Amino acid sequence: MSNNESTDTAKLANKPLYRDTIYDGAADPVVIWNKEENRWFMFYTNRRANIEVANEVDWVHGTPIGIAESTDGGASWQYRANANITYGKEDYTYWAPDVIEDNGRYHMYLTVVPGTFSDWRHPRDIVHLTSDNLIDWKEESVLKLASDRVIDAGVFKGEDDWWYMYYNNERDGKSIYSARSKDLYQWEDLGKAFNGQAGEGPKVFYWHDRYFMIIDHWDGLGVYSSVDLNEWQRQPDNILREPGKGVDDGTKGLHADVVVQDDKAYIFYFTHPGRTAGNDGGAGAANDAYNVRRSSIQVAELEFQDGVIHCDRDKPVYIQLKK
């Protein structure tokens, strides 16, 4: 679909947008166009929500990276495969990839935990991998960043021709740090991006003549804006904080991706539908029931008014992502 075509071919997005058919634990979505196959891919952390759990947070470790595909512009998604990642040992944990394309090659920046564990007290690295087909991934390097506990890379190319990475440094109270690169291979760590509330899953996008960053604060998603990728201002209210009314959308929105298409911006986020008042144990609470562990991917359209981003998650989403 070209920029000049009508949007009347847009389809009503499914609600929920997607549930994983293997573990029912799709989380941390990131959406990218597959040039070779002429379809959209969605990568996600495939939490093992439906396994029998005996040891605390085993189910959020040992996780593969799932891939769903869409041939109708993002309105519906089907499970395709797990990403073929050979880095590490068989029991390694893969979390929260960011995937981008540059000069015909795909790059993944993946959080890796060296094993399957029943607690959170273990190192995490961000690993750079590359691919020609979005399925098979080759290790390039383990990035040298601010500490031995870094997660959730979000990569974006600025107007200054630098690539910027934002990530969560767990050693510094889960603060957002940044790094930059000219070639996606050699990275210079820039330290803390700004002082502010702890969060994870930073995602940067350019819209309405400024940069925005979405951060999961576990109480909805914080929204920050910048004109130069250096100084960031937080808007007063989080988006996706209040429960929605749609199927599987009655809890806070979590770790998101944003796809900008002309004047529209779509936010892909996940929910834990079973985590309602009284049983919200947080990610990986000990021996949570399956219904509390399971998760669903949702999509909503962002709205921009008077310099502020809003999101009405209950509005029907008509979507036709363009390549």
Concerning whether 148 is annotated as a catalytic residue, the answer is no
Quickly list H helices, the chain.
Answer: 290-293
Q: Which residue has the tokens 């007290």?
A: 121
Catalytic residue, candidates 20, 24, 152, 200: 200
Spatial CB neighbours of 43, under 8 Å, sequence gap ≥ 6: 29, 30, 32, 65, 66, 67, 83, 97, 99, 108
Q: Phi and psi of 293, rounded to 5°?
A: -75, -35
d(CA 274, CA 253): 13
Question: What token pair was written down for 138?
Answer: 């080759």
Determine which one of 28, 58, 152, 216 is catalytic.
Answer: 28
CA–CA gap between residue 189 and residue 218 (Å, rounded): 26
Q: How is the chain split among helix, strand and coil, in percent rounded to 5?
A: 5, 45, 50
Alpha-carbon distance of 113 to 58, in angstroms, equals 12
List the structure tokens of 235: 């808007």
231 is catalytic: no
The DSSP annotation for 68-123 comes to: EEESSSSS--EEEEE-EE-SS-TT-EEEEEEEEEETTEEEEEEEEESS--SSS-S-
User: In terms of C-beta density within 10 A (0-12 exposed, 13-18 middle, 19 or more buried), how is residue 100 classed?
Assistant: middle
Going by C-alpha positions, the residue among 268, 196, 203, 206 that lies closest to residue 235 is 196
**Residues labelled catalytic:** 28, 200
